[in-house]
Amino acid sequence: MRPILELLPEELPGEGYRRAQIAHWLYARGALDFAEMTDLPKGMREALSKEWRISEFALVEAYPSRDGSVKYLFTLLDGKKTEAVYMPYPNRKTVCLSSMVGCPAGCTFCATGALGFGRNLTAAEILAQILAIAHHQGISPREIRNVVLMGMGEPLLNLGNVLKAIRTMLHPKGLAMSPRRITLSTVGIPKGIYRLAEEDLGVRLALSLHAPDDETRRKIIPTAQRYPVAEILEAVRHYYAKTKRRVTFEYTLLKGLNDHPWQARLLAKLLKGLSAHVNLIPFNPWEGAPVAGTPKAGILAFAEELKRLGVPTSIRWSRGRDVGAACGQLALKTPTSLTFTPLLEDAGR
């Protein structure tokens, strides 16, 4: 069976009206089974279900956090696993999606990095995360208005599949999302940033900088050996000039590594003229992490120093920490701190 989510809405089976009906069932109604598509002729439903599959998962497990976010653990059809997080802010339902199983970048502070690289996700597997979450939440996939590609994996190292998935997210007959509400977060792969600028889809870019100097950056991000900060910032400047989209810089504060005042000052200097926004992320701990987070007072001081130098700065206090759903905690671990049983759903159809 072939994955139907690999097709753009205009490539779906059927013609004209029928094709639009199928797109509507998939992306507006969130059908995970062709049998649900009751306004299609029965013969057509049967033929479709022989040739195509909708879900990409053998199993979907949901772990609700005390703060309302939900971590989803997906078992793919080949038995490999990946994760996503659902964050229902008032009036703003957001999903954090994965682009890979594991990640090859190996950042020392990231639990996904410690897993190593499993494989790239297909476009269908990326989209299926949204459909499975909507299904489990009992909402239309179109109610999910915000997507952040900040789960497992480095999206710019799987850009072909990521772009394909984004096209269906943006498509008026797909998920009909606004490009401003899709954020792609990258460790900084210059070639990928240039390609994204060329595609000009209007999505937001978040750059995981984490250090303004190459020496520190190389200590915590192995891929930084290949891409110096100056080269990455040149690519970001190009992205900004081409798309006029303000770039966010993410900065996870690690004790004694990247939290010195001189690093705040150097960061402010580097970002001049970029109309950038800095998002400081308190380190989310995970078992066996070789680094520690900057204490709260240090985080506030770093933020103050940046603000004093005129850099728009915010601090992202992560959600879902109790179920291992916060930034950088995705490592396929079943939460142990739960007082209730996880919801299990067999989505293997």
DSSP 246: P
Alpha-carbon distance of 325 to 323, in angstroms, equals: 5
Please check if 305 is assigned to a binding site.
no
- Show the tokens assigned to 265: 């000052």
Closest to ligand SF4 by CB, 105 vs 276, is 105
83 is catalytic: yes
327 is catalytic: yes
Residue 59 Cβ, how far from ligand SF4 at the closest point, in Å? 23
Please check if 96 is assigned to a binding site.
no
3-state percent breakdown (helix, strand, coil) of the chain, nearest 5: 40, 20, 40
Which residues have a Cβ under 8 Å from the Cβ of 4 and sit 6 or more positions away?
12, 13, 26, 52, 53, 54, 124
For residue 72, the partner it binds in ligand SAH, ligand SF4, none, with Cβ less than 5 to 8 A by kind, is none
Residue 227 Cβ, how far from ligand SF4 at the closest point, in Å? 12
Task: Give me the DSSP letters along 271-297.
Answer: TTTTT-EEEEEEPPP-TT-SS-BPPHH
Assess 208 for contact with ligand SAH (CB under 6 A). yes
Residue of the chain from 154, 250, 259, 305 that contacts ligand SF4 (CB under 6 A): 154
Stretch that binds ligand SF4, among 10-18, 100-108, 294-302, 339-347 (CB under 6 A): 100-108
Alpha-carbon distance of 305 to 265, in angstroms, equals: 7
Of 6, 56, 83, 305, the active-site residue reads 83
Task: Give me the DSSP letters along 146-213.
Answer: EEEE-SSS-GGGSHHHHHHHHHHHH-TTTT---GGGEEEEES--HHHHHHHHHHT---EEEEE---SS
Assess 105 for contact with ligand SF4 (CB under 6 A). yes
- Show the tokens assigned to 99: 């682009």
Residue of the chain from 5, 107, 220, 233 that contacts ligand SF4 (CB under 6 A): 107
Assess 184 for contact with ligand SF4 (CB under 6 A). no
Assess 112 for contact with ligand SF4 (CB under 6 A). yes
Among residues 297, 226, 300, 211, the alpha carbon closest in space to that of 257 is found at 211
Assess 150 for contact with ligand SAH (CB under 6 A). yes
Residue of the chain from 128, 187, 325, 347 that contacts ligand SAH (CB under 6 A): 187
Residues that bind ligand SF4 (CB under 6 A): 103, 105-107, 110, 112-113, 153-154, 187, 208, 328
Give catalytic residue positions.
Answer: 83, 327
Residues that bind ligand SAH (CB under 6 A): 109-110, 150, 154, 185-187, 208, 250, 252, 281, 283-284, 327-328
